[in-house]
Structure 1
Amino acid sequence: MAVSSSTADLSAALVLQPVAALDWLVILPVAWCLAVGAILLMIRHKSVAQPLVAVAALAVLVGLDAVLLWHVAQNGPVTMVMGRWLPPFGIAFTVDLTGALFALTSAVAALIGAVAAIDDINASGRRYGFYPFLMLLMAGVSGAFLTGDVFNLYVWFEVLLISSFGLLVLGSEREQIDGAVKYGFLNLVATTLFLITTGYLYGIFGTLNMADIARKAPSLQMTAPLVTLTALYTLAFAMKAAAFPVNFWLPASYHTPRIVVSALFAGLLTKVGIYALIRIGVMLFPAEREQLSLVLAIVAALTMLTGSLGALAQSDTRRLLGYLVISGIGAMLAGIAIGSPEAIGGVIFYAVHSMLVMTALYLAAGLAARLSGGFSLTVSGGLYRHHLLFTALSLMLFFAVSGLPPFSGFWPKVVLVKAAIDGGVSWLAAILLLSGFLTMIATGRVFLLAYWRPAPAQTAAVPQPLAITALLPILVLTVSSVLIGLFPETLLNLAQQAAATLNEPSAYLNSVFPAGGAP
């Protein structure tokens, strides 16, 4: 008896051709962080080796992300699908210029943080997992920036949140536990809302692939509640980004952990929320975001004012910096509310600036507290007299976060103000300028009290020598801010190209669903 056989045609479901070598860079940052994190966990009792391994691994991560950014800039968005299953059957990692820029900047901030942690994290902190948690955090952050799937965006949010909980309570002090409870509660609410909304999204579209959603959304605008869906996502991500009125958790928690942990949180975590808002509101649901633009603009204005005025009211530099993080989030929300390609480019530029400068400011605050005896402005003073270089670096960072030239914060603020005026929302441009002015006053107050005035007699301490290893992370980040401010063309062009890809995502869609075959 003859048995007939046939060969199934798998070309509609699977990738059949070999994957280009450079395309593996799409998933290597995540795989690398997870692998190194596992190694660090296995050698957690070798406290001397851990920082060396972590710093070397993060330097490799910076290299991987830099090559990935170059690859995307040269060839356009790149897609890698898991298990060779084509979208929307399989999970896709898709990276465009926005994701690559965010991933590279976050890796640089993490590398600087790991170097600073050599002095800040003691042997006990290393044994209890600082460096494995840091690598897990970077796996979550990198995955969020590189994924092309909404559900996996949720998964990577969870990964970075789990690791952030571990970093937050490292040391088990009462203040840390209190901060972790506040941080964890609101993030749990935001995560639950994110997950419920993602289920709602799947019920409407039958897919979770971002490119597939972007293709289908225009045809469903008249029949599906897309404005409601966008509003729910906006609320969830606004919580994670610490936007008004759900921003109280940030200044209540960011001052509690070790200063290097606060620096990493300020530089990275809220920017993941901003990135998610850009991806959902600008690329997937631009028409619905436009309908919510007035609400977003009002939230942005209140976030900026809350952050700036809150910073003016603080006498603890860590709390003050927490409010400056919030103020910066408001500036980025303003660009998302405006929504033009120019404004979104300004948001991307501002996010890169904020990752570097806020990380540096927290590290500077920690070093200033070590030199002057505490974080309180009532006991600080005398830094200018004994540490001139450190004082100069701190002053440049204060100028940068205030948006003054010639530092990195100036150019994105100019772009956002111009976009606001061009978009007919001059009142939002005025608030952007007012927020920068208030920030300048708040940071000027810190400089006058903690650096310029003599130390109060009751707290004056013997001047301590300042090792170059303690100053090096701050020096590198400050020089980066200065270079970006003096030579902004490259980053500005990349940010505007990234914004153009988001506003007209045909290249992104063709990467996932190429006209001639599999990605």
Structure 2
Amino acid sequence: MTQLPQAMIETATSAADWVLVLPVVLALMGSAALLVVRRSNRLPLLGAVLVIVAIIACEISLLLRIVSEGPLSMTMGKWLPPFGISLTADLFGAGFALAAAVVTLVVVLYAEIDREGNDGKDGFHSMVLLLLAGVTGSFLTGDLFNLYVWFEVMLIASFGLIVSGSSPLQLDGAVKYGFLNFLATTLFLLALGLTYGLLGTLNMADIMLVAPDANRAAMTGIAALLLLAFGMKAAAFPVNAWLPASYHTPTPAVSALFAGLLTKVGAYALLRALVAVLPDSREMLEPVLAVLAVATLVIAPLGAIAETHLRRAVGFFVIGGIGAILAGLSLPDVIGIAGAGIYIFHAILAMTALYMVVGLIEVRTGASDTRQMGGLYAASAPLSILFFLLILAVAGVPPFLGFWPKLLLLEAGVADAELGWVGSALVVALVINAILTLIAGTRLWSHVFWRNGPEGQPASGEPMPLVAPTPRVRLAFGAVSALVLGVVLIGLWPNPLIEVGQRAAADIVDPGRYVEAVGLAEVEP
């Protein structure tokens, strides 16, 4: 059983600890405030930027505290752990929350490309902050039921964003997106009910203490339900068809936000639930995880090669990245988990940037199908460079950011290959994924930028007419260029990220410090 230290019961929460809850509070309050002023001309944009900057400042402070002191926890009200609502942050949770806030700030600025003449009735900025609140809460929660609550917050906000504009294509995408996500949420809720009925708790730290004594078969069944639910949220094979069928339907800014945040929350939930909370059950499911990882790694880039719609093709790159994360979950030592965690961080930045670059391509060409594009290199060489750099990063070409987590995964796979087939299969799949992703990406680049014009046009024909860039397009280009620059610089100087990633992975593999931060301790009955 568990009990609280007397010091924790008698000690009030310090003011400095409120930095843990402030990112969620600011996002929720900012969302409500911006909904009230949504019809104002510039207030929603200015307010969103100010709120997100404040959130980033809080999360930088939180991350620095965790680096120096270890995981931090705060429980709301007088219902102390494991009964109260706990927010608990370790290096992975705080780092992912910071990355999410940074890309949200960039997307808010980039979104002005689509908002010329908009009267604010759609409440775009309010829904973006609501989505950020759900994402941040998911990364920082210490309770499985509250993870479900934050998933619902994200679902509400993402529904509002995906149908904004009410075009038939958006409504079609919303139906596909909604059906699979509602099903995943139902499975998650079912797993929560079974967990509470079996263990009497949903606090993650408390589950870590009591789950080893529970019925192993029952806990493995619960873990399988969580794998299915979170796998659907993350778009892992074979429950991934909804992503390329829906992510291309909203505006490019919304697509970028979804690609950078939503699937990564599902991947983080898998990492937290299976490796930290239920490690014994994860061990039972390891062959399943390995098969899913290999299938996702290989099939996703093949889908990108076969696809001609640009944003749908990029959606398959997102799915392929989930395969790399699953590979890390199949290799649950510190190196493998560090690779999975750093890849989540990389994907938050790189996938958001890639969708934004694709949006700029669609604006300049006036088309969304690569068969109708061509000749963009001569008109916008900087845009072609941004696209090419991101393709190299996503494929994992050194020295770009995507290379380093894949290198860690390969190292873990080679070490595991001595013990069985899992490591060997994952190493081969990771290499094949890198090659196929590079083929798919360079194929898209050559069709969009290198050839003279649309498919079927003679090589000597006139270049396709391009839309001239407006001031809003230049603002969007500046925002995405800053994000791509960050991806490149982190890739060129990866040592701090790798060091922090390995420290974070150590707290996932051995969550003793996490449990201690919550205030729970194992005692003899």
Which TM class, normalised by the smaller chain length?
over 0.9
Aligned residue in 2 for 1:80: 74
Aligned residue in 1 for 2:420: none
Report the CA distance between 1:80 and its aligned residue.
0.6
Residue pair 1:47, 1:127 contacting (<8 A) in 2 also: no
Match of 1:480 among 486, 505, 513: 486
Matches within 5 A, 1:20-419: 20-124=14-118, 126-222=120-216, 225-419=218-412
Alpha-carbon distance between aligned partners in 1 of 2:246 and 2:41, rounded to the nearest angstrom:
27
Residue pair 2:5, 2:520 contacting (<8 A) in 1 also: no
Alpha-carbon distance between aligned partners in 2 of 1:515 and 1:228, rounded to the nearest angstrom:
27
Aligned residue in 2 for 1:3: none
**Residue identity in the other structure for 2:501:** A
Greater mean deviation of Cα atoms: 379-388 or 318-327: 379-388
Residue pair 1:13, 1:86 contacting (<8 A) in 2 also: no
Alpha-carbon distance between aligned partners in 2 of 1:476 and 1:267, rounded to the nearest angstrom:
16
Report the CA distance between 1:135 and its aligned residue.
0.5
Report the CA distance between 1:85 and its aligned residue.
2.1
Residue pair 1:13, 1:89 contacting (<8 A) in 2 also: no
Alpha-carbon distance between aligned partners in 2 of 1:62 and 1:323, rounded to the nearest angstrom:
30
SS at match of 2:477: helix
Aligned residue in 2 for 1:6: none
SS at match of 1:80: strand
Alpha-carbon distance between aligned partners in 2 of 1:458 and 1:64, rounded to the nearest angstrom:
53
**Cα–Cα, structure 1 residues 458 and 128, in superposed 2: closer, same or farther, change >3 Å?**
farther
Alpha-carbon distance between aligned partners in 1 of 2:9 and 2:254, rounded to the nearest angstrom:
41
Greater mean deviation of Cα atoms: 453-462 or 309-318: 453-462
Alpha-carbon distance between aligned partners in 2 of 1:465 and 1:230, rounded to the nearest angstrom:
50
Alpha-carbon distance between aligned partners in 2 of 1:89 and 1:217, rounded to the nearest angstrom:
17
Alpha-carbon distance between aligned partners in 2 of 1:156 and 1:481, rounded to the nearest angstrom:
28
Match of 2:500 among 494, 497, 509: 494
Report the CA distance between 1:462 and its aligned residue.
4.8
Structure 2: which 5+ residue stretches go unaligned?
418-422, 455-460
Does residue 464 of the first structure (1) align with residue 471 of the second (2)? no
**Residue identity in the other structure for 1:342:** I
Structure 1: which 5+ residue stretches go unaligned?
1-9
Instruction: Give CA deviations for 1:200-244 in whole Å, capped at 9, x if unaligned.
Output: 00001101111000011122255x611111111111100100011
Alpha-carbon distance between aligned partners in 1 of 2:323 and 2:64, rounded to the nearest angstrom:
30
Alpha-carbon distance between aligned partners in 2 of 1:459 and 1:163, rounded to the nearest angstrom:
41
Alpha-carbon distance between aligned partners in 1 of 2:117 and 2:141, rounded to the nearest angstrom:
35
Alpha-carbon distance between aligned partners in 1 of 2:84 and 2:363, rounded to the nearest angstrom:
51
Residue pair 1:386, 1:463 contacting (<8 A) in 2 also: no
Report the CA distance between 1:17 and its aligned residue.
2.2
Aligned residue-pair number: 507
Residue pair 2:244, 2:315 contacting (<8 A) in 1 also: yes
TM-score (norm. length: structure 2): 0.93
Instruction: Give CA deviations for 1:430-486 in whole Å, capped at 9, x if unaligned.
Output: 111101110101110111111112224587115624653121122111111111111
Instruction: Give CA deviations for 1:171-222 in whole Å, capped at 9, x if unaligned.
Output: 0000000000000001011000100110000001101111000011122255
**Residue identity in the other structure for 1:477:** L
**Residue identity in the other structure for 1:431:** A
**Cα–Cα, structure 1 residues 210 and 125, in superposed 2: closer, same or farther, change >3 Å?**
farther
SS at match of 2:87: strand
**Cα–Cα, structure 1 residues 324 and 125, in superposed 2: closer, same or farther, change >3 Å?**
farther
Alpha-carbon distance between aligned partners in 1 of 2:213 and 2:7, rounded to the nearest angstrom:
24
Instruction: Give CA deviations for 1:127-149 in whole Å, capped at 9, x if unaligned.
Output: 21111110000110000111101
Report the CA distance between 1:515 and its aligned residue.
5.8
Residue pair 1:13, 1:85 contacting (<8 A) in 2 also: no
Report the CA distance between 1:269 and its aligned residue.
0.2
Report the CA distance between 1:418 and its aligned residue.
1.3
Report the CA distance between 1:126 and its aligned residue.
3.1
**Residue identity in the other structure for 2:321:** G
Report the CA distance between 1:290 and its aligned residue.
1.2
TM-score (norm. length: structure 1): 0.95
**Cα–Cα, structure 1 residues 141 and 463, in superposed 2: closer, same or farther, change >3 Å?**
closer
